[in-house]
Amino acid sequence: MIMMNGGYLDTRAPDRSLFGKQHCPRCAYLLVAPDESHHIADRVVRHLWTCEACGTGFSTWVKFQPEFGEMHCEPQCAEAA
């Protein structure tokens, strides 16, 4: 927490990221955000990732459920070039 103008500003990261917690499938390094995101179909987004630690490239598919915006993420691994 940082004090500003007599009050406190909460500087903690939100509990839930827009992309969820994504780890590299090869080395388990925690990744922050995908390199690219593409709208594939109705309620389906594909994220392309590259691990900063080992260079492994992979993708995840996010399927948004119609009710309450729930997400389901399935990693699909592909080696980086």
Question: What averages of pLDDT result for each successive group of 10 residues across the chain (81 residues)?
Answer: 51 53 93 93 90 95 71 55 42
Residue 62 lies in a domain: yes
Rounded to whole angstroms, how far apart are CA atoms 63 and 66?
Answer: 9
Residue 10 lies in a domain: no
Domain that holds residue 72: 32-81
Sheet holding 36-41, edge to edge: 36-41, 44-50, 57-64, 71-77
Residue 49 lies in a domain: yes
Number of domains present in the structure of the chain: 1
Residue 8 lies in a domain: no
pLDDT at res. 42 = 84
Residue 57 lies in a domain: yes
Q: Classify residue 75 as left (phi > 0), alpha (psi -120 to 50) or beta.
A: beta
The CB-side HSE value for 71 (13 A sphere, CA atoms) comes to: 14
Residue 17 lies in a domain: no
pLDDT at res. 68 = 52
Per DSSP, the chain holds a count of helices (H) and strands (E) of: 0, 8
Residue 44 lies in a domain: yes
Residue 59 lies in a domain: yes
